[in-house]
Amino acid sequence: MRGVWWLLALAPLVQAAEPVSSTVREQHYMVYGRTVDDIRRSIIERTPVRNAQAAFAGNTKSHYKTTYRLVPVAQTGCVLRNAAVKVESVVTLPQLAPGTLPPAVAAEWRRYYTALRAHEYLHVEGGKESARATQQWLASMKVSGPCHAARPRVRAAIEAYIRMLDQRDRRLDAITDHGRSQGAWLDARVR
């Protein structure tokens, strides 16, 4: 699962476009249990990642910040310059409380956590790719009319473009069943 927030800012004083930059931050919520069933129940009860239909063990949210300059050319023209896109991804994952686990449960937890984290980092990579694509798209954007009239159109176009790219993450979750097909599930048979 993934959500996107847009933070768009006009930067009229930017002198040169920056390359796409990306940061990743992990945050964890504590889960408890000594059996796979207990751990799974704890994840469902304690996860902060929910929607109207379900609760999810992990999540990645990407926040985009786009800067650019609109430069007047002639009296009625405008050109977009110095486009830069930054993406910050926040990955939410469960953290198992310290304690002694049966060896098979400990191994299952490590396997599961590794698969879940790998799945979430595919979303991080998707966010980076969306930022790169947005910056390239912005660099080639043609703006018509005076800058004051183009400003709201450019902002709306950026939001729509990033929403379109965000569908890649929804497809990833649909194809992998939110990472289950990649191993992000706890095997209840493990004792």
Could you report the per-residue pLDDT of 147-180, keeping only the tens digit for each? 989 999 999 999 898 888 888 889 999 999 999 9
C-alpha torsion angle, residues 191, 178, 180, 130 (rounded to 10): -120
The confidence band for 139, taking pLDDT boundaries of 50, 70 and 90, is confident
For the chain, the farthest-separated pair of C-alpha atoms sits apart, in whole angstroms, at 75
Q: Give me the mean pLDDT over the 54-69 stretch.
A: 94
Say whether pLDDT at 101 is over 60.
yes
Q: What pLDDT, on a 0 to 100 scale, did the predictor assign at position 19? A: 63
Domain limits of the chain?
Answer: 21-182
pLDDT, greater one: 12 or 72: 72
What local confidence, expressed as pLDDT, does residue 142 receive?
Answer: 85
What percent of the chain clears pLDDT 90, i.e. is strictly above it?
69
Q: Side chain identity at 55, as an amino acid letter?
A: A
Q: Which residues contact 57 (CB under 8 A, 6 or more apart)?
A: 43, 47, 49, 93, 94, 116, 184
d(CA 189, CA 118): 23
Across the range 75-85, mean pLDDT stands at: 89
What lies within 8 Å, CB to CB, of 151 at 6+ separation is 10, 70
- Compute the CA torsion angle 43, 168, 90, 88 (nearest 10 deg): 180
Angle, alpha carbons 90-128-116 (nearest 5°): 50
Q: pLDDT tens-digit profile of 3-50?
A: 433 333 333 323 335 568 999 999 999 999 999 999 999 999 999 999
